[in-house]
């Protein structure tokens, strides 16, 4: 009974504090919402209230939502962040706080209406001072500021012949941002998400306390923060696991017209090292899949892999079959002055697969160029004016047992009826590479698929949002127990369903580490209006 009363009071109180309203359209931030003692501190010199600063902090990559903060903090140290949070925590008028890295969120998750947005990039030291690499065996790691971009981590670690094990497809994201979600890409089946490759962190909690945490030290905070959507603390430093870096990548795309064969081959390939035995030569180092129709291949950042002649042949095949599928795999290798067996390794791995034998596309690139492949697509889209547009993305985790149903209902149903522009990813991951004690949630099956609908909309983004809702409704009606990655929900009931058995743990951790509900209000887990059935994507 007491727990129920506390949770109800918690939701009501945090909602009253934040007082979120409609975020589409012009809003006037009110500096009066900030306590006078904060404005009297030396820290106030690092706060900006001007329209230029607040406008920059009011939008994100999604370009679907706008929420003006009262101020933006440009910290020079984690102590500045701790001072800001403690000021809010100790005030009789606490204000919401959000950490903003590269601003790559989709639905305003890094925004703080009438609160303070922390511009994490302001922490960045000169000449890579916030990236420190330890190359002393046997434990290789990099201590990295939470504001650092993964592309800069890559360059810094490569100077020592090392690199992180797990990546995201796009490297111009901050370390703190991806660790607050999970951080996934085609290496996750082998090494797990990025959150599974962190030794320790420095975190500023919702009480303004600076805490070092790891699996052994302050472990509850460690597990809460990783995949915790910014609800429990702000990551100011992370110790990232490293391994010797390869030099080159043999990069292939294999074409399929049968979805069942496509998924069967993916599941076989990720099983080769599922138990962690056998060494790296027994499987590919990277695996992703994608769904392609004739129109989705155009203005697609993944399409730069193909020549113009390839485009014509693929488009003709897509037009004939309506939908085709690509399996994208990579094998890492190094010369080191001697012969390599990459050709034999790749040929051996391809034996027995069911791709179209005359539709194998291969490239050989540097390790850096492979990992930074999306940036080339970004430059292409920027040149066409197609980067800074609305991005109504939808990312889902689908149980292996229902992926064929998802293909019939979505890839060959919803998406076939409505042409889509942009990549559509679908590839499997191994559940045992995720740690259940962390806040991130996945379907309860040994293998599950990530589906990424990474669409751009120069106009009519509302139609794509409607399509996303149609996809979610299909999953609901078909009984497909999917989970959103980079989640965006509108009601308490939806969040409770998302976290499932972890919900009570999530609430308990929130009360322990951010009891006043100050952090990451843009996620709308504890600060949104809990009215059931709301479908207004523009309201907080």
Work out whether strand 210-214 and strand 248-256 pair parallel, antiparallel, or are unpaired: unpaired
Task: Say whether 376 sits in a helix, a strand or coil.
Answer: helix
Query: Do 255 and 317 form a contact (C-beta atoms < 8 A)?
Result: yes
d(C-alpha 94, C-alpha 204), whole Å = 16
Q: Find, among 229, 239, 195, the residue nearest to 436 by Cα.
A: 195
Query: Do 74 and 195 form a contact (C-beta atoms < 8 A)?
Result: no
Give one DSSP letter per residue of 221-283, joined into a string.
HHHHHTTSTTSSEEEEEEEEEEEEPPSEEEEEEEEES-HHHHHHHHHHHHHTTTTS-S-GGGS
Structure tokens at 222: 């460690």
Structure tokens at 210: 């600076």
Give one DSSP letter per residue of 259-273, joined into a string.
HHHHHHHHHHHHHTT
d(C-alpha 371, C-alpha 422), whole Å = 19
Determine if the peptide bond prior to 138 is cis (ω within 30°). Answer: yes
Q: Which residues have a Cβ under 8 Å from the Cβ of 149 and sit 6 or more positions away?
A: 102, 171, 172, 173, 174, 175
Query: Do 116 and 54 form a contact (C-beta atoms < 8 A)?
Result: no
Give one DSSP letter per residue of 505-516, joined into a string.
HHHHHHHHH-TT
State the CB neighbour count (10 A cutoff) for residue 260: 12
Tell me phi and psi for residue 221, to 5 degrees.
-65, -40
d(C-alpha 456, C-alpha 421), whole Å = 6
Query: Do 399 and 443 form a contact (C-beta atoms < 8 A)?
Result: yes
Task: Say whether 342 sits in a helix, a strand or coil.
Answer: helix
d(C-alpha 240, C-alpha 195), whole Å = 9
Q: Find, among 145, 42, 28, the residue nearest to 87 by Cα.
A: 42
Give the residue numbers marked as catalytic: 104, 169, 288
Q: Which residues have a Cβ under 8 Å from the Cβ of 435 and sit 6 or more positions away?
A: 192, 195, 196, 223, 226
276: left (phi over 0), alpha (psi -120 to 50) or beta: left
H or E element: which one contains 190?
helix 188-191
Tell me phi and psi for residue 10, to 5 degrees.
-60, -45
């Amino acid at each position: 009974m007491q727990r129920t009363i506390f949770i109800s009071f918690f939701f009501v109180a945090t909602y009253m504090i934040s007082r979120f309203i409609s975020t589409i359209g012009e809003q006037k931030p009110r500096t009066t919402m900030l306590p006078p003692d904060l404005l009297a501190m030396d820290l106030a010199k690092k706060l900006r209230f001007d329209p230029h600063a607040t406008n920059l902090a009011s939008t994100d990559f999604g370009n679907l939502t706008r929420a003006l903060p009262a101020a933006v903090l440009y910290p020079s140290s984690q102590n500045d962040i701790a001072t800001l949070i403690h000021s809010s925590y100790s005030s009789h008028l606490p204000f919401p706080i959000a950490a903003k890295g590269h601003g790559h969120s989709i639905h305003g998750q890094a925004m703080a209406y009438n609160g303070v947005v922390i511009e994490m990039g302001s922490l960045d030291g000169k000449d890579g001072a916030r990236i420190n690499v330890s190359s002393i065996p046997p434990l290789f790691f990099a201590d990295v500021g939470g504001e650092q971009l993964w592309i800069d981590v890559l360059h810094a670690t490569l100077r020592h012949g090392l690199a992180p094990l797990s990546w995201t497809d796009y490297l111009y994201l901050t370390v703190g941002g991806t660790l607050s979600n999970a951080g996934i890409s085609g290496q996750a089946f082998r090494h797990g998400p990025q959150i599974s490759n962190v030794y320790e962190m420095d975190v500023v909690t919702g009480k303004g306390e600076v805490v070092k945490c790891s699996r052994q030290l302050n472990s509850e905070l460690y597990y809460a923060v990783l995949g915790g959507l910014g609800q429990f603390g702000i990551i100011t430093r992370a110790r990232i696991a490293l391994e010797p870096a390869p030099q080159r990548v043999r990069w292939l795309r294999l074409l399929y017209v049968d979805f069942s064969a496509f998924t069967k081959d993916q599941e076989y390939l990720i099983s080769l090292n599922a138990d962690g035995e056998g060494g790296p030569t027994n499987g590919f180092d990277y695996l992703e899949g994608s769904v392609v129709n004739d129109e989705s291949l155009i203005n697609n950042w993944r399409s730069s892999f193909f020549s113009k002649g390839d485009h014509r042949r693929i488009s003709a095949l897509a037009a004939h079959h309506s939908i085709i599928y690509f399996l994208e795999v990579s094998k890492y290798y190094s010369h080191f002055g001697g012969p390599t067996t990459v050709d034999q390794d790749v040929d051996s791995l391809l034996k027995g697969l069911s791709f179209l034998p005359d539709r194998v596309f291969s490239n050989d690139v540097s390790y850096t160029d492979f990992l930074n492949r999306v940036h080339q697509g970004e430059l292409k889209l920027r040149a066409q004016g197609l980067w800074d547009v609305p991005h109504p993305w939808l990312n889902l985790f689908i149980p292996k047992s229902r992926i064929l149903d998802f293909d019939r209902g979505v890839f060959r149903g919803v998406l076939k009826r409505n042409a889509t522009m942009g990549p559509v990813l679908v590839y499997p991951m191994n559940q045992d590479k995720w740690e259940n004690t962390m806040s991130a949630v996945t379907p309860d099956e040994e293998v599950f698929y990530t589906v990424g609908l990474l669409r751009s909309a120069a106009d009519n983004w509302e139609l794509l949002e409607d399509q996303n809702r149609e996809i979610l409704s299909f999953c609901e009606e078909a009984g497909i127990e999917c989970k959103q990655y980079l989640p965006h929900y509108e009601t308490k009931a939806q969040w409770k369903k998302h976290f499932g058995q972890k919900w009570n743990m999530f609430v308990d951790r929130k009360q322990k580490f951010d009891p006043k509900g100050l952090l990451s209000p843009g996620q709308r887990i504890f600060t949104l209006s809990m009215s059931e059935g709301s479908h207004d994507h523009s309201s907080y």
